[in-house]
Chains A and B, each alone.
Chain A
Amino acid sequence: QQQVKQSPQSLIVQKGGISIINCAYENTAFDYFPWYQQFPGKGPALLIAIRPDVSEKKEGRFTISFNKSAKQFSLHIMDSQPGDSATYFCAAGGGQFYFGTGTSLTVIP
């Protein structure tokens, strides 16, 4: 059973637009929810993370929204830029993590 489901698989956004990626998880014991950004030829890098005791966390143009009752969390990228074009992975867990299948984001100039 897939522990973390991520959508969409791919996303195309105009420069300046808002990119939204969604994830849902199964295990209510998970207590840490990171998002990773991966560029071609590189390993994933931590972008932003949230714990279930808060409903939103913002860092610059990146915001995580967290809905504990629905077991869902999402990444919002405001004012999307071409440099944001990458693959984004959500993850959930604590100690050991389960990853989503990734979203390929393309920001068109």
Chain B
Amino acid sequence: EADIYQTPRYLVIGTGKKITLECSQTMGHDKMYWYQQDPGMELHLIHYSYGVNSTEKGDLSSESTVSRIRTEHFPLTLESARPSHTSQYLCASSGGLADNEQFFGPGTRLTVL
């Protein structure tokens, strides 16, 4: 089982609140990713990082921000949540010899009222 963790698993908050979704991995992977997943839709890459202090935006425009201060930690922050941010957020990591194999966390289901 992949050692990648996400907290919280479920979050219901009101509009305008600031939230941080946590993601940690214990595999020492250099690469980490955040995807947004809606029912019946493909996973959309919103952020990725290829190492400490390196972050890039993915194909799907997102109002969220990320940071990568430590290899194992890749938090995602929404400064002011809106109902349009309601979705499932999946964190993944990859690295080492199997660089293309992404290990996914269990996801955070966010509902903004």
| Chain A residues near B (Cβ < 8 Å) | 2, 4, 6, 9, 32, 34, 36, 41-46, 49, 89, 91, 94-102
**Is B102 a contact of A100 with CB atoms below 8 Å?**
no
Residue pairs across A and B with Cβ atoms less than 8 A apart, 17 shown, are A6-B42, A34-B101, A34-B102, A42-B107, A43-B105, A43-B106, A44-B90, A45-B2, A49-B101, A91-B43, A94-B100, A95-B100, A96-B45, A99-B35, A99-B43, A100-B42, A102-B41
| Chain B residues near A (Cβ < 8 Å) | 2, 4, 35, 40-45, 48, 58-59, 90, 92, 100-107
**Is B42 a contact of A4 with CB atoms below 8 Å?**
yes
**Is A34 a contact of B100 with CB atoms below 8 Å?**
yes
List residues of chain A with CB within 8 A of the CB of B103. 46
List residues of chain A with CB within 8 A of the CB of B92. 43
Q: A34-B100, A43-B107, A94-B100 given as contacts; is B41 within 8 A of A101 (CB)?
A: yes
For the complex formed, measure the closest distance between the CB of A26 and the CB atoms of chain B, giving whole angstroms: 13
Interface of A is mostly: strand
For the complex formed, measure the closest distance between the CB of A79 and the CB atoms of chain B, giving whole angstroms: 25
